[in-house]
C-alpha cells in the first residue's frame, strides 16, 4: 500500500458509488387478482388479534442492538466485523460503526501481509464494498461523517488504538482471502498456492507494522 495509511484511506472514501445501488428505483410487479366466479365459494378470512399483530411486529433484540467494538475478539475476521458495521449503521449508531471499521480495515491489512498473492488481497476491499452496498445513501453519509470526525481527532483515534491493542492480533484463518478468486484477472491463473507461512516472529512484526504505520497508532 506504499506510504498510504488507514487514516488516508478512510478520509478518501468515495461513498457516492456505493450509494448508487440504494438509490436506483425498484420495479414492483403488479399482481393480478381474479374475481371469484359465482360457483366459487370464498373462505372467510380470520382477522388477527391486536396481540398477534404486536407480537409479529416486535423486533428481536439482535435487530435493535448495535454490536459495537466491545463485542469483538481477535477471532473475528473482516467479513464478520463488516456485518456489525452494517447493523450499527442501519441503527444510525455511526460512531460505533466507525470504530468497527477501524478494526476491520486494520485486520484486512494484516491478512494481506500474511497471505501470498496480490490478487487475493483484493478480498479485503471486496468485503468492505459489499458491506457498504447494503446501506442506503443516508446511512452511508452518516457513516462517512463519523469516520471523518473519528480519524481527524487524534485523541479519539489513539483511544481506538488502545481498544484494538486489547482485542489483539488476529488469530483466525483468513479463509475469505485464501479462497478469493477474481475470474476477471489474468493473473489469477498464475497464482501460487496461498500461504500462511510467516513465522510467528514475522507475523508479530507484521502486526506491529499495521498498528504503527497503517493505523497510525502511537506507542
- Write the pLDDT tens digit of every residue in 33-50: 444 444 555 555 566 555
Higher pLDDT, 167 or 22: 167
| Domain hosting residue 202, numbered range | 63-180+193-219
The reply to whether 108 falls in a domain is: yes
Collect all residues with Cβ–Cβ distance below 8 Å to 67 and sequence separation of at least 6.
Answer: 84, 87, 88
List the grid coordinates of 87.
Answer: 447493523
The reply to whether 11 falls in a domain is: no
Q: How many domains does the chain have?
A: 1
State the pLDDT at residue 179: 87
The reply to whether 35 falls in a domain is: no
The reply to whether 107 falls in a domain is: yes
The reply to whether 41 falls in a domain is: no
Amino acid at each position: 500500500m506504499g506510504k498510504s495509511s488507514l487514516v488516508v484511506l478512510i478520509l478518501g472514501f468515495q461513498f457516492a458509488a456505493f450509494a448508487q445501488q440504494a438509490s436506483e428505483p425498484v420495479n414492483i410487479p403488479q399482481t393480478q387478482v381474479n374475481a371469484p366466479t359465482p360457483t366459487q365459494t370464498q373462505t372467510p378470512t380470520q382477522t388477527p388479534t391486536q396481540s398477534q399483530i404486536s407480537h409479529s411486529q416486535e423486533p428481536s433484540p439482535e435487530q435493535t442492538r448495535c454490536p459495537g467494538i466491545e463485542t469483538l475478539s481477535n477471532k473475528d475476521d473482516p467479513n464478520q466485523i463488516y456485518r456489525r458495521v452494517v447493523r450499527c449503521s442501519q441503527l444510525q449508531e455511526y460512531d460505533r460503526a466507525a470504530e468497527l471499521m477501524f478494526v476491520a480495515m486494520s485486520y484486512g491489512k494484516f491478512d494481506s501481509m500474511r497471505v501470498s498473492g496480490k490478487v487475493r488481497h483484493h478480498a479485503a476491499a471486496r468485503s468492505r464494498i459489499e458491506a457498504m452496498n447494503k446501506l442506503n445513501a443516508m446511512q452511508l453519509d452518516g457513516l462517512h461523517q463519523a469516520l471523518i470526525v473519528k480519524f481527524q481527532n487524534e485523541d479519539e483515534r489513539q483511544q481506538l488504538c488502545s481498544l484494538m491493542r486489547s482485542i489483539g492480533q488476529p488469530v483466525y484463518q483468513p479463509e475469505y482471502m485464501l479462497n478469493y478468486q477474481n475470474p476477471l484477472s489474468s493473473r489469477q491463473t498464475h497464482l501460487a498456492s496461498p500461504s500462511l507461512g510467516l513465522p510467528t516472529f514475522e507475523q508479530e512484526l507484521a502486526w506491529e507494522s499495521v498498528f504503527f504505520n497503517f493505523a497510525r497508532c502511537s506507542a
